[in-house]
A and B are shown apart, each in its own frame.
Chain A
Amino acid sequence: MRIQVRRTGGFAGIERCAEVDTSGRPDAAEWHALADQAVAAGGSAPPAGVPDGFRYEITVDGKTVYCADPRLTEEQRKLISRVLKEGA
């Protein structure tokens, strides 16, 4: 499973992208569960969000969903944080 996160907006307007490929990872099952929940709660179009709030695109195996701060689910927040931290 390939999990990509793109973060745009924010006060600084600086974009960040990262990707995690779970194949061969010992914690792959955990990633898959988290990604499935995060995608299920995402929207099919970018939400309006709030001024200076981060906007996120989460792409899992080619399917993209959208969400924005501060209205993230716990799973979305956790997934985004982990991908941006651990991803390449």
Chain B
Amino acid sequence: MTTNGGSEPVFCTIVPPHILNTLARHEDPAVSGPAQHTLLLDAENRTRRSLAAEYGLRAAPAVRAPSDQPLRTIYDAEHRTALPGTKVRAEGSEPGRDASVNRAYAGLGATFDLYLKAYQRHSIDGDGLPLDATVHYDEGYNNAFWDGKQMVFGDGDGEIFVDFTHSIDVIGHELTHGVTQHTANLTYYGQPGALNESMSDVFGSLIKQYSLGQTAAEADWLIGAGLLAPSVSGTALRSMKSPGSAYDDDVLGKDPQPATMDGYVRTGRDNGGVHINSGIPNHAFYIVATTLGGNAWERAGQIWYDVLTGGELKEKAFFDDFAQLTVATAKERYGDGEELQAVLKAWERVGVPITPRARL
């Protein structure tokens, strides 16, 4: 097990953060406003979120019930890095000539659909949050990320990666970071960080399966299939079915994901190996889904969704905390049946103990 020694946010302003904190609480909005603004700008993502909650800066909840239709906007960064960029497609408008824009728009829609139809969740915050995405970020940029408010997609360099909008599970993955941020808010470091990553892979894969109408047996259980350029030896970036097998390439190296706790990687890099150790809870989900059969988003997905959004999962949860909650949820929702047995078997197979662990 790693220790959860999260990194400290870095403030880049001249005014020390404790002074800004005091100013931000000031009665006079002329004083508190700019200080809050500076704090919001300068704090890193998590800090920005907690401050926003503390100072009540979040948008007031809509009075009316949220819509069953998404509210999508796609922006084009035009190969620069200013966000969000130029607005190029709004909700309801026809597809344009830019395939990246159209793929992002469709992927946002597919993500909205799964959350609404399978889990009755209205958008990523459960309250109809507009879905924004920027394509063509930077030049040859080999990444996609969630910046706390929107999704950002690079075009890939064409040598290792192609355009990140090509993979619908990547779009679902990024938006699920938003769902996690608005629910359990798992700390993005160490085991809670790997759980955060795993939630995004699980629901990213489910979004792909739901949109293709695939059962657990039919699904490829790959993350980022179709993202690797033709010259790279590999099928995808991660495999939930067989973690560690997604790629093995001269330039990229070998997929480092473990499937079980025996292979747990202790590292400070990549926020404590969040993209490495996510293979363990990923594989547990795969076992539950394929043991139960049928549509993975139904019973397996429902149990995972309940735990993620149920309010009991702590920000600094470890794998066994999460496992324990999936067991309790399976029992609560489905009784002492095959769902519970599948969940117990899955955690046993990946080596995560499901008995409560005493913690100092």
Contact = CB atoms under 8 A, between A and B. Distances in A.
A48 B46 contact: yes
Contacts of A37: none
Q: Which 8 A-B pairs have the closest CB atoms?
A: A13-B275, A43-B10, A48-B44, A52-B145, A51-B177, A47-B10, A46-B7, A8-B269
B148 A50 contact: yes
A72 B6 CA distance: 21
Contacts of A13: 237, 256, 270, 274-276
- Considering residues A15, A49, A77, which has the most beta carbons from chain B within 10 angstroms of its beta carbon? A49
Interface in A1-44: 8-15, 41, 43-44
Interface string B230-266: 0000000100000000000000110010000000000
B287 to A, nearest CB: 22
5 contacts: A10-B142, A12-B275, A51-B200, A54-B143, A54-B145
A70 B83 contact: yes
Interface of B: 6-10, 12, 44-47, 81, 83, 138, 142-148, 152, 161, 164, 170, 173-174, 177, 181, 188-189, 196-197, 200, 224, 237, 252-253, 256, 269-271, 274-276
Interface string A53-88: 111000000000010111110000100000000000
Contacts of A45: 7-8, 10
Q: In terms of DSSP, what is the predominant structure of the interface of chain A? A: loop
A86 to B, nearest CB: 14
A45 B170 CA distance: 29
B9 A52 contact: no
A47 B270 contact: no
A51 B143 contact: no
Contact of A11 (B6, B144, B181): B144
Contacts of A72: 81
Contacts of B269: 8, 15
Q: In terms of DSSP, what is the predominant structure of the interface of chain B? A: mixed
Interface of A: 8-15, 41, 43-55, 66, 68-72, 77
A47 B145 CA distance: 16
Nearest to A84: B142
A73 to B, nearest CB: 9
Contacts of A68: 44
A33 to B, nearest CB: 20
B7 A47 contact: yes
A50 B147 contact: yes
B54 to A, nearest CB: 17
Contacts of B181: 51
Contacts of B275: 9-13
A48 B269 CA distance: 12
A9 B7 contact: no
Given A11-B224, A11-B237, A12-B142, A49 B177 contact: no
Contacts of B161: 12
Contacts of A44: 10
Nearest to A67: B10
Contact of A52 (B7, B12, B138, B146): B146
A40 B247 CA distance: 38
A62 B237 CA distance: 33
Nearest to B137: A70
Nearest to B167: A11
A70 B45 contact: no
B196 A11 contact: no
- Considering residues B44, B46, B253, which has the most beta carbons from chain A within 10 angstroms of its beta carbon? B44
B248 to A, nearest CB: 13
Contacts of B45: 48-51
B360 to A, nearest CB: 25
B44 A49 contact: yes
A52 B44 contact: no
B152 A55 contact: no
A49 B170 CA distance: 19
